[in-house]
Structure formats: C-alpha cells, structure tokens
Amino acid sequence: MNQGLSKSYVRPKQVRVGRYLIYGLLDPRDNSLRYIGKTHKRREFRLAEHIEDAAMGRSRLLHVWIRELIEQELLPEIFVLRRVPACDSWEEAEREEIRKWGALPANRLPLVHPPQTPKSREVRIHLIKLTNVQNFR
C-alpha cells in the first residue's frame, strides 16, 4: 500500500465487464464536456483512477482540471456516451465520439444526452471543452 495514503483507504477491486464503455467527464461548474475516454471497468472505478492520478500530481490537462475541481471540493461527473461490444473496436468508437463531440457546433447546445445503460441518467451538456480533442482531428 502507498504509505502516503491512509491505512483505511482500500482501492476498489478493478472489475472488468464484458463490454467497453466510451465515457465522458462533465464539469459540474458549467456542465461542459471536458474529456472522452474508454474503459472496460465499471465507470466509478475509472473515475476513481482519474482522481487518484490527479491527486498524485500527474500533469496531463485532464489531471490539472480535476485538481482544480478538487480544490473547490467538487468532482467531475462520469457518464456513458456509448456502449461498445467486446468484439468491436473500442479504439474506433472512442475516436468517433471525440471527433463528433469536438466538431459539434455551439448552436446545437445545450444538448440532453440520453441514458445509455440501466444505471445511467440523462445528462445536460452546455459546453464542449475537450482536453483530448486535439489528438483526433
């Protein structure tokens, strides 16, 4: 166990699921979509990993943004953009979502994104400020 963490802290077991999720991270301050990623874990575990990486001082724009939220006692909201069967290409699905959201005209916002899984809820997106959009243009 990392000696810098409380002894009562136990990192959740990383449970893999039988499909991939393409997910978004939403800024609770302005409902802006800030990041799109993929996971084959439960989304709450993936969010915990991002928060832990930010707390450990990683320097990616994503982690700088999450640290800003943590300083304000806020956390990003994770939500499912798309489910991808395990037999399909998550890489292409992730690229498609980043391209689609990165190119969305401002006059189409705000936009309500419908739930994609039984545990999901609809999400209202007011702005697009993707930190990883430059990788896929």
Instruction: Give 16-48 pLDDT, tens digit per residue.
Output: 557 899 999 999 999 999 999 999 888 899 999
**E strand intervals along the chain:** 16-27, 32-41, 77-85, 111-113, 123-125, 127-128
- What CATH number should be reported for the domain holding residue 60? 3.40.1440
Q: How many domains does the chain have?
A: 1
Residue 3 in domain: no
With vertex at residue 76, the alpha carbon angle to CA 42 and CA 56, rounded to the nearest 5 degrees, is 85
Instruction: Give 75-130 pLDDT, tens digit per residue.
Output: 999 999 999 988 888 999 999 999 999 899 989 999 999 998 888 889 999 999 99
Task: Report pTM.
Answer: 0.81
Residue 104 in domain: yes
Domain interval for residue 90 = 16-136
Residue 7 in domain: no
Residue 9 in domain: no
How many Å apart are CA 97 and CA 74, to the nearest integer? 25
Residue 52 in domain: yes
Residue 10 in domain: no
